Amino acid sequence: MSSSMDIDPPTTSESPSETSDYYSPWLEKYRPKVLSDIVGNDDIVSRLKIISKDGNMPNVLLVGMPGVGKTTSVLCLASELLGPSYKDAVLELNASDDRSIDTVRDNIKKFAQKKVTLPPGKHKIIILDEADSMTGGAQQALRRTMELYTNTTRFALACNESSKIIEPLQSRCAVLRYEKLKDEQILERLLEICEKEQVKYNDGGLEAIIFTADGDMRQAINNLQATHFGSDFVNEENVFKICDQPHPAIVQEILSSCAQCDVNNAVALLQKLYHSGYASIDIINTFFRVSRSFTELDEQFRLDCMKPIGEANLKINGGHTSLLQLEGMIASICMISPNYASL
């Protein structure tokens, strides 16, 4: 992986549009416009390409973690299906902001009733992002709207948890479940952006961005841009500083100390991390991810670590965010160490 030269900020002689483009969010600048450009979830993208070719789109429910391409893929599908009519025939709403029953009755129903001239076999498309944030009453009203306007309108509901979508809505949609993006897929897109934006980086910096993203392409691109503009060089230290996440190397050292039953050193490192200002939930999330990937430790020990880490995570999510919870987790991990019985 070779480094690229950095680009100088626009000079005052450049036009305002060029300056605006330089500082525009890379997330939107490099958002895929066609289905072929979407990274990951090849099986789902293949199904969407078939729908685009046939022209008969069903109601769809897109399920998956943030940043895996749910909304982007349905926007690409709508663009390929409708072509020049896209602007008039597509309504995109964020259901977490517009989640009341009045939104369904007013905005959605009015759009479904609107007359739009489309080619034969095409339908208007309503895209509801974060649909699992809608109230129960709004979902019931949406179900009725889907029934009434099924001949002219198709619905695409994107959500993180399908269990929060009522069963009548699920049964009316083709469910597409998106998987978390692989590290290799995120790295490929990051390298492409680094080349086009002439970003200075090293291997450790990109690996740190992939770690902080945890399968979320949106987070990865945002972290890359923030580090590039914030420090002018993308390396491991700058990434964790700007993203404000605990450094995994410190957590690895804590787990290694726990494996050796060196509870004093582990607690000292934990206290230093905690008093650096990191939130307890960020610390516990880093513990969880490091325990999965830290192959220098025994695999069984890493698996056993999941229980005390999970219990601490449950307590922290319940509002008990004090250092005591984290120190209790460290003590529990030391007690499951293979070396504990020999003490």
Q: Quick check: is 32 in a domain?
A: no
Beta-strand runs (E) in 162-309: 174-177
pLDDT of the residue at 343: 59
pLDDT of the residue at 12: 44
Which residues does 5 contact at the CB level (< 8 Å), separation at least 6? 198, 200
pLDDT of the residue at 236: 86
Q: Which of 177, 192, 221 is the last residue of a domain?
A: 177
Residue 235 sits in the same domain as residue 304: no
Residue 255 sits in the same domain as residue 233: no
Read off the pLDDT of residues 265-322 as tens digits, 9 standing for 90 and up. Answer: 899 999 988 888 888 888 888 888 888 888 788 888 888 888 889 998 898 888 888 8
Residue 144 sits in the same domain as residue 269: no
Residue 109 sits in the same domain as residue 81: yes
Q: Quick check: is 320 in a domain?
A: yes
Q: Nearest Cα to 82, choosing from 41, 113, 126, 44?
A: 126
Residue 222 sits in the same domain as residue 262: no
Q: Quick check: is 142 in a domain?
A: yes
Q: How is residue 124 written in tokens?
A: 């208007």
pLDDT of the residue at 214: 83
The CATH code of the domain that includes 299 is 1.20.272.10
pLDDT of the residue at 17: 47
Q: Quick check: is 30 in a domain?
A: no
The one-letter amino acid code at 250 reads I
Residue 45 sits in the same domain as residue 159: yes
Residue 190 sits in the same domain as residue 274: no
The CATH code of the domain that includes 51 is 3.40.50.300
Read off the pLDDT of residues 170-196 as tens digits, 9 standing for 90 and up. Answer: 888 889 899 988 889 899 999 999 898
Residue 160 sits in the same domain as residue 102: yes
Mean pLDDT split into 10-residue runs, the chain, 343 residues: 45 48 78 87 89 85 88 89 84 68 74 82 85 82 84 88 87 89 90 89 89 87 88 86 85 89 89 88 88 82 88 87 87 83 63
In the chain, what is the greatest distance between 2 CA atoms, to the nearest angstrom?
79
Which residues does 208 contact at the CB level (< 8 Å), separation at least 6? 235, 236, 239, 240
Residue 57 sits in the same domain as residue 144: yes
DSSP class of residue 336 equals T
Q: Is 282 helix (H, G, I), strand (E, B) or coil?
A: helix
Give φ, ψ of 159 to 5 degrees.
-150, 165
Residue 69 sits in the same domain as residue 139: yes
Residue 263 sits in the same domain as residue 228: no
Q: Quick check: is 17 in a domain?
A: no
The one-letter amino acid code at 332 reads S
Quote the CA–CA distance of 332 and 318 in Å, as a whole number.
19
Give the residue numbers spanning the domain of 210: 183-243
Q: Which of 243, 263, 278 is the last residue of a domain?
A: 243
What total of structural domains would you count in the chain? 3
Q: Which of 198, 222, 243 is the last residue of a domain?
A: 243
Q: How is residue 88 written in tokens?
A: 């008039």
The CATH code of the domain that includes 221 is 1.10.8.60
DSSP class of residue 105 equals I
pLDDT of the residue at 15: 47
